[in-house]
Each structure stands twice: as C-alpha cells, then as structure tokens.
Amino acid sequence: MKRYSIFSLARNALNYHKDWERAWRSPDPKQEYDVVIVGAGGHGLATAYYLAKNHGITNMAVIEKGWLGGGNTGRNTTIIRSNYLQDPSIAIYELARSLYETLSQELNYNMMFSPRGVLMLCQTEHELRAFRRTAHANRLAGLDCRMIDAAEVKRIVPIINDSPDARYPILGAYYQPRGGTGRHDALAWGYARAIDNMGVDVIQNCEVTGMLRSGGKITGVETRRGTIRAKKVAVVTSGHTSNIMEMAGVRMPVESVCLQALVSEPIKPVIDCVVMANTVHGYMSQSDKGELVIGGGADPYNNYSQRGSFPAIEHTVSALVETFPIISRLRMLRQWGGIVDMTGDRSPIIGLTDVAGLYVNCGWGTGGWKSIPGSGFVFADTIANDRPHPIAAPFGLNRFTEGRFIDESVSAAVAH
Amino acid sequence: MLIVHCPVCGVEGDETDFHCGGQAHIARPATSDPANIADAAQRDYLFMRFNPKGLHFERWRCDRGCGKWFHAARDTVTQEFKAYYGITEMPPADVIKQATGQWAEFFKQATAGRPAARKTAVKKPVAKKTAARKTAPAKAKKS
C-alpha cells in the first residue's frame, strides 16, 4: 500500500491523477477462513481492522451483499458524541469517540473528524432537568461536558430562535465540545484500505443465503458466490440482522424500522456545530459542502424499503424551521432512508450467541455511526477470545432474559 | 405514505391518522399461568419480535376515526396492505398461506390448536365487515 501524503498527492497531480493504485483488491472468496464477517459496513470493517491489528487474525473475509459502506454507514447524519446516561453506554461511546480523534492518522485516510461541538437543546423544564441528570452522570464518568445557559447557546449558534415567546423556548443546552461530525464514506474506505493491506479479503456483491451449522456449532456460510467455511462467523448486518440470524436458527429481540435524513441546497456557513432539538424532534449540522444535514425521528412501523414516508420529514423540517427560522425558504436537495435495528432498551447487542462460533453485533438502532470504532474494538476482542470484552459484557444478548437492561430511550431521544 | 383502511368503522386515511401498535398475535404468558413463567418466556413476550422482510402481521389503531384497534397484514418491503381483520380474529386463510418463516410456523400452531366454538361466537359482528372489505382490498399507496 502506498501511503497517502502531500508528496504522493503532488506526484500524482503532475500525472493528471492517472496512476493512483486501487485502494483495495476485489478478491474471489477462498474456500475457508478463520473468521468470516457478514456485513461490510462501518461496524463490520472496524471489527475486521481491530481483529487484524490487535489480535493478528488476517485469514479473514468481510462479505457484503451490496457495496461496502452502502447501508447505514452511508446513510447517517455523521454525528459523533458520547454523552449517554448509563455507565456501560458512556464507556463504549466514549471509547469510540476517543478512537475517532486519531483515526485519520492511524488509517492514513482523512476521515475528516471535526470535533465542532454538539449542543442538545433544553426546550422544556422537564428536558432541562433530565439533561442536568445526564450531565451529573457524565461528569462522574469523566466526560468533558457541561450545561450552558440560553445566552451561551445564542453565542455559539447565532441563527437559533431565542425568542421567549417561541412554542418551545431555548432554556439552555447540554454541550459536549468534543463531539462533532466525521466523513462517513471515508471511514468505511479507510478501514477497507487498511484491512486489505493486512491481507484481509473484502468481498462485495456476495449475499449470504444460508448459515452452515453442525450441531451447536457454526461451520460456515452459504453465499451467492459459493460456500465459505469458517471457524467463526460474526454477523454485523444492522437492519437485516433478524433475517441473517434466523438462517442460523437464532431469534433476535430487534425490529427494523426506517430512519430518514435529508440535506438542503448548499449555502454559506451558518452553523459550525451540531444542534439537536429533542423535544421538537430534529437535529441539524452543516457539511463542509455547505449543505444543512438534517435528521429526525424514525418512521413508526417495521420497514425494509430504505425510503420512508413524508410525514416524518414534514415533522422534522417543521420543528427545525421553528428552531432556526432562517432556513424556512431553503430547498431540500436529497432525502434517503436507512433500515435500523431497534432493541427494546435502545442499546446495542454485542457478544456471543447460543451457537458456538457465531457472534453478533447489532441493535445500534439510530445511533450506529458514532460508535463504529469502539464497537469494532470490543467486538474484535470478543471474537478473538471467545468471551465478551469487559466493555461489551453488559450488552450481551442474555440481558433480555435476565432483565438487566441498559435503558437509553431517554438520552438517545430523537438524536441518537 | 401509507394509506390505511379501518375494518371497524370503514374510514380510509393516511398513516398519521392511524397508529401502528407493532407485532400482532402476541399472547401474554402470565395470563394462563402466572405463577410458572420461565424467564425466557417472559423475554419472548416482552422483547422477541418477528421481524420479517416481507409479509408481516401487525396491530393498528384507528386514532382519528373510531379509536378501535384492529389487525393488518402488510408487506414490509412493498408496503402493500394484504388484509385488514378484527382484533380478535386470525387473518383470512389466503393471507395465512402467503406467510413465511416464523409467521408460517406460528400460524401452523395457532390454527391447529384453536377451539372452533369461541372463534365464531366472538367474531360474527366484525367478520361481516371484513368479508365485505376482502373483495376489494385497499392497496397501500406510495407517494
């Protein structure tokens, strides 16, 4: 792998950029691997990366039905934060956020991590109190977060509607200055390039059609490109996890719904942080291209169609027009939907299953993007050592039987 | 945008006039045997959900119409409603035949062990309306 640098950029510029090598190979699947990871989204690629880097496992394939990063990794609003309420959540999301800080250097791939700050607005007395509680919990866990008042919100976000007569006036905000955004495709591409360089096969257009089991043990996967045998299989397929796991005879406590996002036409810089308005259901940031990136609540019924419906968009946009009157005459350019897997307690599922050699990482619901490096880090350790990583342990599938929930439905809110 | 039909009062509206109540036909284990419920059974009742890519059976509520709950069979990929039926009823036989995976298994068991007498007694007044609806099933429209 040739390193990317200012010199390689200059050298290739002189050649009219005709000599760049491919970032990763496109190999045919081998007959057998030590580990097969199903799903080449961010979480799958990150898992492969940390398995190769931290645990020396390189006889491994990441197989993907479509193209890598084409699911929810390319469909989110790229927000990164870690200010959750419960200790297990804080641990894993903060691990992810801290890994994001050095990822560009580590992968030699600019994933444009931009710690521009995340503001979670408090627009009712109740919300103010709830976020104060989260702030105390976060401070105990050592997170760099603080409550700020309405005047400081206005200073950080001048375009916000701070009228006291607003239907939901700004009473303050919960602020994580180290949160921010990143470039979602670059993360997938950076991980793919790095694992390819370590000898891992990234196999695209290779849909899994069945799981091979022998007794209580997994032995491989059936795919559209033939049978691939494997000692260990890790399923990281987000909204399609129920379907893949059903092939192995494992039921999952998740439901798939569509979460939409949209972007406006590009405008000059108006907002240099991420603002989340949980009470009115909308959040917004501005991309480097100038588009306002907007997200809101999920559609309220099971859905696999990656499109979503208009009431959710209307609801989100009307909430944001109330919060930022300046955007009322902007046109929306693109809209898309991703199929997210929701659990009952809005926390992910990471760990072992009843089938030996079969591992699952899913249930990130509407908050998968921000957790990618942390999720991959602990899941790789879980697979390599066949026991849950300490940070992943509370997120095991058994918590639903034991009643040991990690309830994040409040702090996840709309802006998960 | 889903266009939904209420089989109870007969109104048609878009998805904002209705409320989706999630998976249908979930029996609460504690109802029949409260003292003897295994943790796994309680987990299945509370959290395990059929999550098919294809035909799904759900509860819906006619929020801005009659306020009654009812059942609907909907495809989670095409968004087409295949049938609407009463809250105490099982789906029409031709729709049950289209069910796959966990739902197919479920209906095999549910229809096998079901006492016939109770079914007809509870069903009659509602069944008349769904029968009329069945001849012209409303299709979900996409906009």
For residue A77, name the pLDDT band (cuts at 50, 70, 90). very high
d(CA B38, CA A261): 41
- Residues of B with CB below 8 A from A252's CB? 48, 51
B interface test, pick of A208, A254, A304, A316 with most B CB neighbours within 10 Å? A304
Q: Is residue A362's pLDDT more than 60?
A: yes
Contact A311 B78 (CB under 8 A): no
What's the pLDDT at A383? 97
Contact B1 A310 (CB under 8 A): yes
In this complex, the residue of A243, A309, A401 whose CB is nearest that of residue B43 is A401
What's the pLDDT at B90? 94
The answer to whether residues A376 and A45 touch, using CB atoms and an 8 Å cutoff, is yes
- Which residue of chain B has the CA closest to A247? B101
The three-class DSSP label of residue A167 is coil
Contact B49 A255 (CB under 8 A): yes
For residue A412, name the pLDDT band (cuts at 50, 70, 90). low
Contact A401 B40 (CB under 8 A): yes
Contact B118/A at CB under 8 A: no
Q: Is residue A410's pLDDT more than 50?
A: yes
Overall average pLDDT of the A4-23 stretch: 94
Taken in order B129, B131, B134, B140, the sign of the CA dihedral is: positive
A interface test, pick of B15, B45, B47 with most A CB neighbours within 10 Å? B47
B57-91 confidence digits (pLDDT tens) = 999 999 999 999 999 999 999 999 999 999 999 99
Q: Starting at the earlier edge strand, list the strands of the sheet with B81-85.
A: B19-23, B55-61, B69-75, B81-85
Overall average pLDDT of the A198-202 stretch: 97
- Which residue of chain A has the CA closest to B14? A311
Taken in order B78, B84, B87, B88, the sign of the CA dihedral is: negative
Q: Is residue A17's pLDDT more than 60?
A: yes
Stated as kind and residue range, the H or E segment containing B97 is helix B93-98
Nearest to A276 by CA among A314, A312, A324, A327: A324
Nearest to A76 by CA among A221, A211, A259: A259
The three-class DSSP label of residue B27 is coil
* Residues across chain B: 143
In this complex, the residue of A251, A302, A401 whose CB is nearest that of residue B76 is A302
Dihedrals φ, ψ of A148, to 5°?
-125, 155
DSSP notation for A328-347: TTPPEEEEEEEEEEEETTS-
- The percent of residues above 90 in pLDDT, for chain A, comes to 91
What's the pLDDT at A366? 87
- Which residue of chain A has the CA closest to B48? A253
Q: Is residue B123's pLDDT more than 60?
A: no
B interface test, pick of A243, A258, A302, A407 with most B CB neighbours within 10 Å? A302
- Which residue of chain B has the CA closest to A340? B51
Contact B46/A at CB under 8 A: yes
What is the distance of C-alpha A259 from the center of its chain? 13
Strands A217-223 and A208-214, bridge-based pairing: antiparallel
d(CA A284, CA A119): 10
Q: What is the complex's ipTM, to 2 decimals?
A: 0.90
Overall average pLDDT of the B9-26 stretch: 95
d(CA A127, CA A109): 39
Range of lowest pLDDT (A26-40, A312-326, B52-66): A312-326
- Residues of A with CB below 8 A from B55's CB? none
In this complex, the residue of A253, A254, A309 whose CB is nearest that of residue B2 is A309
A45 CA: distance to closest CA in chain B (Å): 25
Q: Is residue A150's pLDDT more than 50?
A: yes
Contact A301 B58 (CB under 8 A): yes
What's the pLDDT at B78? 94
Q: Is residue A401's pLDDT more than 60?
A: yes
In this complex, the residue of B40, B51, B76 whose CB is nearest that of residue A254 is B51
Residue A330: both structure tokens together:
């902007």
Dihedrals φ, ψ of A61, to 5°?
-125, 140
